[in-house]
Amino acid sequence: MKDVEAAIAKHTGRRPQRLLPMCGGSVASVYRVDLEGGERLVAKIAGKGSGLALEGRMLRFLREKSRLPVPEVVHADDRLLLMSYVETSGTITTSVEENAAELLADLHGISNPSFGFEEATLIGGLHQPNPPTVSWRDFFRDQRLRYMAGEAVEAGQLPKTFLGRIDKLAARLDEWIDEAAPPSLIHGDMWDGNVLTINGRIGAFIDPAIYFADPEIELAFSTLFSTFGAPFFQCYSERRPLREGFWEARRELYNLYPLLVHVRLFGGSYIGSVEQTLIRFGA
């Protein structure tokens, strides 16, 4: 840890008095850093190729381009990410959901000429390709469903037979997914582990996986693990009405992507969830 402490001192100009392990850290080890003088930071520590530098760029992009509350990046490279420490208290309550709806509706109002992003990003430590694409259906089909299914098969986490079924579904996406939504900036990994709360409001959103998308894919993900519910959607829809067909079909279709991410990472029961969705849509 001496080299880490030396790097922290170099980039902050102050010596760390102690490093306390924090929860999380599937990609990196996470510590609360208490600096001399009383300031606290969060340090993520990992090896070369971890993607911490990219995480830092995503956080800085959100701070520069949006009003979404995210930690301030002090330093970022692939071995060390230093961020401001965000105090947290409580769980996701109705007032938190309503505040989250306001913030995400504002974020989704930031648009772009094409879907994708200026570079590939990461989700759960996995590569997330973002080539600029005019058609949302094409982007979702090729860069999300087909890509992540292929990654899961290659990793031995998903039976190869699922690739043909994904292709069968992909050929029919125009039955459920329109091209009506302009590209919107999304956080990209909207589950409760990435939502920090304090005093009944959002303290910060962490661990982004940003790109420009149909914002409904973000809304769908927020329901996959019951992160947000009725208070969120009522508040959000007052600002950005949901298009017809979201609850009936697109929510499940869009959640195929995070399910495939979880299959790639964990396998197991998530394969059954993918199976159920494919059966639901005739594949």
pLDDT of residue 48: 82
- Write out pLDDT tens, residues 32-63: 999 998 999 999 999 888 899 999 999 999 99
**Strands 201-205 and 195-198, how do they pair?**
antiparallel
231-to-35, 109, 121, 218, 221 alpha-carbon distances in Å: 39, 20, 30, 16, 16
Q: Yes or no: is domain 94-280 CATH 3.90.1200.10?
A: yes
Q: Which position has the token pair 């998903």?
A: 158
Q: Could you tell me if 84 and 71 are in contact, meaning their C-beta atoms sit under 8 angstroms apart? A: yes
* pLDDT exceeds 80 at position 24: no
3-state DSSP assignment of residue 127 = strand
34 is catalytic: no
pLDDT of residue 26: 67
- Out of 77, 106, 167, 189, the active site residue is 189
Domain with CATH 3.90.1200.10 in the chain: 94-280
Q: What is the average per-residue pLDDT within 148-155?
A: 98
Q: Rounded mean pLDDT of the chain?
A: 95
For the domain spanning 2-84, the CATH number is 3.30.200.20
pLDDT of residue 139: 98
Sequence-distant (6+) residues with CB within 8 A of 161 are none
* pLDDT exceeds 90 at position 229: yes
Domain with CATH 3.30.200.20 in the chain: 2-84
Q: Could you give the CA distance from residue 259 to residue 82 in angstroms, rounded to a whole number? A: 30
- Write out pLDDT tens, residues 57-100: 999 999 999 999 999 999 999 999 999 999 998 899 999 999 99
